[in-house]
Each structure stands twice: as C-alpha cells, then as structure tokens.
C-alpha cells in the first residue's frame, strides 16, 4: 500500500488567522467602534483628545478580533453544524483549538499595552471588558439571552471612555453627575441596540441553531422577534435622545436619530418575512445606523458651538 501524502493546508497560516479574527469582515469592528466614538465625543463635550480616539480605535480592533478567536474556540464543535459557520478555521481544522487560544491571549496582551497611554483608572475598568468578551461565547450553551451578554461587552468601552476623560460616573452622596447619567444611559441605549441587531443575526441561523443546541434571543422571542426588535430600537432612540438633552446638543444631533429610525424601519420591513438572507442584511445594515448617529453627533456639537 503506497504511503499517504501529507495533508497540505490549502491556505497559509496567516490567512487562517485573519479568518479566525474576522479582520476580513470588519462589520463587528464597526458595530463596536461607533458607540465607542459616541461616548468619546460626549464624554469630552465634543472635543475628544486625538490620542484617546487612536487608542480606543485600536483597542476596538484588537478586542473584537480577540473576541472572535475565543468565540470560535467555544463554538469549535458546533460551527460545522451550521452552514454559515462551517468554513471557519477551527471547524475545518485549518487551526487548532490551542492556536486559537494563543491568538486570543496575544491580542488581549496587545490591547493591554494600549492602556499605558490612558489614565490608570481605565486599567481597572478594562477587566470588565475582558471578562465579558470571554464569557459571551459560552453563554450560547446556557441561556437564550447571549445577545444580552454581547451587548454588555460591546458597551463596556463606554464607561472606559468617560473614565479616560476624567469623568466621575459612579454614584456619590449627591447622586449621579450629568456625566454619570450620560454614561449609563448611553450604556443602556447601546445594550438595546446590540440585542436588536444581533437578534437579526441570530434569526438568519435560527433553523440550524435549534438542532445544534445553540441558544439565542431569536429562538426565545420566536414569533415576537420583529416586534421586540422594534421595541428595543425604540428604547435605543429614546435613551439616546435623553443623553442629547442632558448634554444640550443642537437639533442636528436629533436629526441623526431621526434618520436612524428610518433605517431601522426599513430593516424591519426587509426582514418581515424572516428570510435568512434578509435578516442577515438587516444585521449588516446597522453599520449605517452607527455611522449616521456619529456623524450627526459631531454636527450636533459643532452646531451648538456655532449657535453659541
């Protein structure tokens, strides 16, 4: 019997790592970046330090990539059961579980180095981000609300941004400051938005997730999924408007929320028949919600300065 030829990896290792960390699919980076930028602008009253913008942006890229690596490690035995994830590096054997953990550790270490350019108080808050990013992938086995944990993780840069700007966001004897209220209302707003758009994402895989034993809000909400997404989006818009009122932003910022509401209605209409491809489109389209809110948030501060 002739000796078997060794299996040759069809793609280079570095490309498998790019696929593992989803650097070739930046939608997750965007969805994490926009609320981070919102919080930097609001915490700094429209004038964030350039260093903060650079460091937080790099942190978003690194931690989102780390989150993808640990997510694939957690899902390595079920990704092959879902058509959309069957080609991921761990599911196909292009990378090992050990290699995924090493990539995760390296990315987290690189993120930690960025903290050297920020106040030491931000370092303590960063442990929350690491805990939530590590916890989320495993929640899909134990709860139908993993999207809630994802929302908490995707929102954790918000208090870090406020702390980086020297804002006191914890209650005192006098209660919460305006910055504290702004921080936590913004946190809750982004939590609602994240659960809403990630439910669209889960709806695209729902029929395959159920037999695979993967839990999600899409399964939990069942036929009420679109109604609950609409409710969550409405809560997001209301909470964001409240933050704008607290910070006395000009009407241009509210225009961003109005345009975002229009996009959200269009997403719901596109996904109304719950076709997997349309639900996934609705998820991807939320990048435009983040972009519009940020751009018109900047305009809201500039408009206020001009009017002032």
The domain that holds 134 is classified in CATH as: 1.10.357.140
- The 10 Å CB-count burial string (b at 16+, else e) for 55-91 is bbbebbbbbbbbbbbbbbbbbbebbbbbeebeebbbb
At residue 4, the pLDDT reads 46
- Three-state DSSP class for residue 82: coil
| Range(s) of the domain holding residue 77 | 13-307
- pLDDT band of residue 9 (cuts 50, 70, 90) is low
pTM of the complete model: 0.91
CA angle 171, 175, 176 (to 5 degrees): 65
Is position 3 within any domain? no
Is position 7 within any domain? no
Handedness of CA 45, 50, 54, 55 (dihedral sign): negative
Is position 4 within any domain? no
Is position 183 within any domain? yes
DSSP element (H, E) containing 295: helix 276-307
At residue 304, the pLDDT reads 62
Is position 8 within any domain? no
Strand partners, 175: 172
Return the half-sphere exposure (C-beta side, CA atoms, 13 A cut-off) of residue 121.
12
Instruction: Give the CA distances from residue 160 to residues 32, 40, 141, 151, 278, in Å, rounded to whole numbers and listed in that order.
Output: 13, 9, 29, 15, 35
pLDDT digits (tens, 9 = 90+) for 12-53: 888 999 999 999 999 999 999 999 999 999 999 999 999 999
User: Is 219's pLDDT higher than 90?
Assistant: yes
Is position 236 within any domain? yes
- Three-state DSSP class for residue 172: strand
In the chain, the number of structural domains is 1
Q: Would you state the torsion angle of the CA atoms of residues 109, 110, 113, 114, taken in this order, to the nearest 10 degrees?
A: -130
Q: Residues 201, 284: contact at Cβ < 8 Å? A: no
Instruction: Give the CA distances from residue 67 to residues 37, 96, 106, 184, 271, in Å, rounded to whole numbers and listed in that order.
Output: 19, 16, 12, 23, 27
Burial of 150 from C-beta contacts in 10 A (0-12 / 13-18 / 19+): buried
At residue 307, the pLDDT reads 43
Is position 184 within any domain? yes
Is position 78 within any domain? yes
């Amino acid at each position: 019997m002739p000796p078997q030829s060794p299996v040759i990896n069809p793609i280079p290792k570095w490309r498998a790592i790019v696929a593992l960390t989803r650097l070739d699919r930046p939608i997750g980076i965007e969805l994490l970046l926009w609320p981070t930028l919102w919080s930097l602008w609001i915490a700094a009253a429209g004038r964030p330090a350039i260093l903060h913008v650079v460091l937080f942006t790099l942190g978003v890229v690194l931690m989102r990539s780390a989150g993808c690596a640990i997510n694939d490690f957690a899902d390595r035995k079920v990704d092959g059961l879902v058509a959309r994830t069957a080609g991921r590096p761990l599911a196909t054997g292009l990378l090992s579980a050990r290699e995924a953990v090493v990539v995760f550790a390296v990315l987290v270490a690189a993120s930690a180095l960025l903290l050297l350019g920020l106040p030491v108080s931000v370092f303590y808050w960063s442990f929350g981000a690491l805990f939530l990013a590590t916890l989320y992938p495993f929640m899909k086995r134990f709860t139908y609300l993993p999207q809630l944990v994802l929302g908490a993780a995707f929102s954790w840069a918000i208090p870090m941004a406020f702390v980086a700007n020297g804002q006191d966001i914890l209650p005192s004897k006098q209660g919460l400051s305006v910055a504290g209220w702004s921080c936590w209302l913004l946190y809750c707003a982004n939590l609602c938005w994240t659960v809403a758009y990630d439910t669209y994402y889960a709806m695209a895989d729902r029929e395959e997730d159920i037999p695979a034993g993967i839990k999600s809000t899409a399964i939990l909400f069942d036929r009420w999924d679109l109604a609950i997404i609409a409710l969550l989006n409405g809560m997001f818009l209301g909470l964001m408007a409240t933050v704008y009122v607290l910070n006395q932003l000009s009407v241009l910022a509210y225009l961003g929320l109005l345009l975002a509401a229009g996009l959200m209605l269009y997403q719901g209409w596109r996904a109304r028949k719950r076709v997997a491809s349309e639900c996934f489109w609705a998820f991807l389209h939320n990048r435009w919600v983040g972009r519009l809110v940020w751009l018109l948030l900047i305009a809201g501060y500039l408009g206020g300065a001009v009017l002032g």
